[in-house]
Amino acid sequence: MRRLIVAAVVASGMMLSSASAADLPVKAKPAPLYSWTGWYGGVNAGYGWQDKSAAYTGDVAADPLIGAGTVFTDTLAIASLQATEETAVNHPAYRQSLRGSGFTGGGQFGYNWQIDRSWVTGFEADLQYANVKGRALFEEPSTGGTPLSAASSHQLDWFGTLRGRIGYLLSDRFLAFGTGGLAYGGTKGQAAISIIGPLGGTVDAGFVTKIICPGFTTCFAGSSSQTSVGWTAGGGLEYAVLPNVTIKAEYLHIDLGHQNVKLTVQSPATGNGFVNVKFSNAYDIVRMGMNFRF
């Protein structure tokens, strides 16, 4: 009998121990840290702007903006440059402020290497459509002489970049990064100088050149399309919303150098003078993007 009682007590104790152990909370395994290493691709959309200038220079004798002692110079109220051609070409007598803006959008792909728990490096390439346009127009008020207008426009049609990236992890899913590298793009510039009154004008430089431009006539005009190569730099923030999806906000400054457009005499104006217009070819881009990890 005693043996039965002891066995019952032992069995009861074991059952109570098992029940108490079952009631204890199970310690959860730590969640693995997010890894940024790997290939990715995605899309983006944003806004670009430009706040630069168009500088008019040219042939001392023929340039309607800097010609020596001509009605063109007088009507634009620009000091006549009684100087050499070198001075005229390298020191513009007239500069227009050109403000442009518009939509950009496209796609990107790249690769990230997570160096340790805090740093990520890699590269990214992208190709973008752009519709960033700017125009400027000066029309001289009529004062009884020969009033002129000077018009210019410039636009960025597309661009791409190939950049390195280096980033610091603010948390395992939140990346702050800087970026920079090669930029390239297609642009178009055009400009024209016209007489907007009934009285024409003449530039007479003896045996060098002579230009005659009737009233209400475009005296000089020209356009140029080109693909340019330059540099870009910027930075942004990127956040992993899902294991294979990140979203980012990014700023880029893109500098493609300058674009030169040569304006030539337009019929019915006659002569062999020219005007050069140099456009600044730099842009600022802000955009949002989404990347999908492979």
Domain boundaries, the chain: 37-293
Q: What is the pLDDT of residue 15?
A: 47
Question: In the chain, which residues have pLDDT < 70?
Answer: 1-32, 58-93, 142-146, 199-210
Region label for 69, one of left (φ > 0), alpha (ψ between -120 and 50) or beta (otherwise): left
Q: What pLDDT does 138 receive? A: 84
The pLDDT assigned to 95 comes to: 81
Global confidence as pTM = 0.77
Residue 135 has, within 13 A of its CA and on its CB side, a CA count of: 3
- State residue 231's pLDDT score: 98
pLDDT value at position 239? 98
Q: How far apart are the C-alpha atoms of 10 and 88, rounded to whole Å?
A: 110
> What pLDDT score does 72 carry?
40
